[in-house]
Structure 1
């Protein structure tokens, strides 16, 4: 593939309800193969009250989730054991009062993942919601030791996340962490040794959202009817660490060699010349990447999971109406792709003030037969 530079949610619908879903699928003209694929979905966890938009697991089987709380009593980060998820690493971290600063409390967690070091890493955007003001000390990256369940380091991102910033997600590559800013479009490069951070590709066409954000055939709008805009969002690092793939929430996906990201001496123009177009992706909830270089991307508009090959070509892994806004996905060591069907497009704040969530919210998985990449 030729590379070119870029310038410029109702209660009562259970996940086990397959018959009506099949009828829906067939009535829409889906193939028998796709209808068969629906049976491959495994229900890993369900919640009657929590919006779960991200999941990560450990080799020993521990499971951690990100929750977008609907009430002040709901945690933002939790461990799934038995029954309801338990606030993690403790209730204090999940119990910030509005008058408190955000330096040692979660303000607005957007993503988490078990890193290549076996630690749990949590991205705090630093604001209580999209378009909300940043809380002092709020934007940060938190490292938690899973052996003792203690926070071992907090990377303050206040110097690079300001104004309308919305720190979104993170991936790792050696001593560097790459984060996306979905509010003030940019990539943040963080030196994990020194804690120094800098912004690159700021307001670059590859980090700015140019298309309407849609899901299930409808454009997302806030409580005032304004279109939701999410800039630099999903990102993945290749297995060999050579490439960073990234995109605004509405696509398309671009890539750049990490050696350019890691070089603080490069000018914006030099970085710009090395950005390549990669794949024409649609509105996306989340991504994951396997050891063979295939990127899995959730198509929020058509409720499906796409596979993006190393040449940028796109195919469909599975299409299923239950996969409503699959957000931050995860590939575990048993070669399963975990998919939290968060239904974010159905919550009132993103659905023109209309609450349309179908409970329970479900985390699904599907066998993909490929090893994960720990980045």
Structure 2
């Protein structure tokens, strides 16, 4: 009888393993939670125990909503309402979504929406470059931080992290390269490390993906400071250019010191070495840093010693873009940027939906 029980357990385990292998949503632990076969998404934000939002930048004529709350795998409701989505060329972008790049829930559960307001990645329209904090009870705008006084009209603010305890925001600017620091209490802000080597993609690095160097208009495609992550205690800001594999960090106490100029700050930057080409990145509460690997279709983790391990490698991770952590899962959006027509001599290479996955961490 004992041998029969052991055999039953072994057979049950084998059947379960086979079932997992045959279920595409359990392949390597990667679970599909949202897909859109029409509109290109970039950002994802998952509320602890609650809503998931995704955003869609205005990068082409194939466009409808900037920010939505998802319902199931394909359902979506414009957030916070239809009216905020109705920007048109020539109108003010101060109270509308113009070209939203990122959505983010901070540690207090507050939702932030980052709008670089540069359709087609060109120039800022309607004076609309802004960071918006939403009121989580009424789903109305709580406060808007405009970047128009510190940015050139060719800038593109890309991603944001919030230090709730100190009331500071840190953002990357991905065109010219640089970090934006915002005192959320008084609204004071500045752009630092502009064109510093840590915010500029290494020109010598060959960004090879899908077997060829990514090109645009006959030249290697270069993306500057993009991914950004704040340690759980808020003491360090990690960041990197997208199209090379270097990772950098700086103590946030220096960024918050308005008496330190760019030369002072540049001397405080720490070069952590070579890791992966990633778009976004995020820390968990234990101090592990999660990044993508655009070239190898995988997600990786760096522990506190900077040891890198692969979490999941899967062909469905087509340009893992933005990250959110909630409910014990890492959520990742896949924007398929390398398949856009401008990187393929005008040919749209996409053959599958834009997606959001989650993986247990």
Q: Distance in 2 between matches of 1:72 and 1:50?
A: 6
Q: Distance in 2 between matches of 1:48 and 1:362?
A: 9
- The answer to whether the 8 A contact 2:321-2:335 is kept is yes
State which of 232, 241, 255 in structure 2 corresponds to 1:261: 255
Per-residue CA deviation, residues 271-316 of structure 1 (Å, 9 max, x unaligned), is 1221111241332122121112111111111101111122223221
- SS of 1:206 mapped into structure 2: helix
Match of 1:42?
31
Per-residue CA deviation, residues 177-230 of structure 1 (Å, 9 max, x unaligned), is 0011111111010110111110111111101111344433333333x3343321
Q: CA deviation at 1:135?
A: 1.4
Alignment of 1:202-221 (within 5 A): 202-210=194-202, 211-221=205-215
Alignment of 1:102-121 (within 5 A): 102-121=93-112
Q: Distance in 1 between matches of 2:35 and 2:230?
A: 30
* Greater displacement, 59-68 / 323-332: 59-68
Q: Distance in 2 between matches of 1:351 and 1:121?
A: 33
2:89 corresponds to 1:89 = no
Which has a greater percent of helix?
Answer: 2
**Aligned-CA RMSD value:** 2.3
- The answer to whether the 8 A contact 1:50-1:68 is kept is no
- The answer to whether the 8 A contact 1:57-1:63 is kept is yes
- SS of 1:339 mapped into structure 2: strand
Q: CA deviation at 1:17?
A: 12
Q: CA 1:163 to 1:169, structure 2 compared with 1: closer, same or farther past 3 Å?
A: same
- The answer to whether the 8 A contact 1:49-1:359 is kept is no
Q: Distance in 1 between matches of 2:21 and 2:40?
A: 22
- The answer to whether the 8 A contact 2:43-2:323 is kept is yes
Give the paired residue count.
Answer: 336
Alignment of 1:1-375 (within 5 A): 38-69=27-58, 70-71=60-61, 73-82=63-72, 83-130=74-121, 132-173=122-163, 174-210=166-202, 211-222=205-216, 224-250=217-243, 251-332=245-326, 334-368=327-361
Q: Distance in 2 between matches of 1:161 and 1:229?
A: 20
Q: CA 1:166 to 1:18, structure 2 compared with 1: closer, same or farther past 3 Å?
A: farther
Q: Distance in 1 between matches of 2:221 and 2:136?
A: 35
Q: CA deviation at 1:47?
A: 1.7
- SS of 1:93 mapped into structure 2: helix
Per-residue CA deviation, residues 105-129 of structure 1 (Å, 9 max, x unaligned), is 1221111101233221011112102
Per-residue CA deviation, residues 76-130 of structure 1 (Å, 9 max, x unaligned), is 1111125431211112221211121221112211111012332210111121022
Q: CA deviation at 1:73?
A: 4.8
Q: Distance in 2 between matches of 1:54 and 1:18?
A: 29
- SS of 1:285 mapped into structure 2: coil
Q: CA 1:219 to 1:91, structure 2 compared with 1: closer, same or farther past 3 Å?
A: farther
Q: CA deviation at 1:18?
A: 7.1
Superposed structure 1 runs of 4+ greater than 6 Å apart: 16-19
* Greater displacement, 208-217 / 313-322: 208-217
Q: Distance in 2 between matches of 1:162 and 1:17?
A: 51
Q: Distance in 2 between matches of 1:283 and 1:66?
A: 22
| Stretches of structure 1 lacking an aligned partner (at least 5 in a row) | 1-15, 22-36, 369-375
Match of 2:12?
none
Q: Which has the larger radius of gyration?
A: 2
RCO (CA 8 Å, sep 6+): is it higher in 1 or 2? Answer: 1
Q: CA 1:158 to 1:214, structure 2 compared with 1: closer, same or farther past 3 Å?
A: farther
Report the TM-score when normalising by structure 2: 0.87
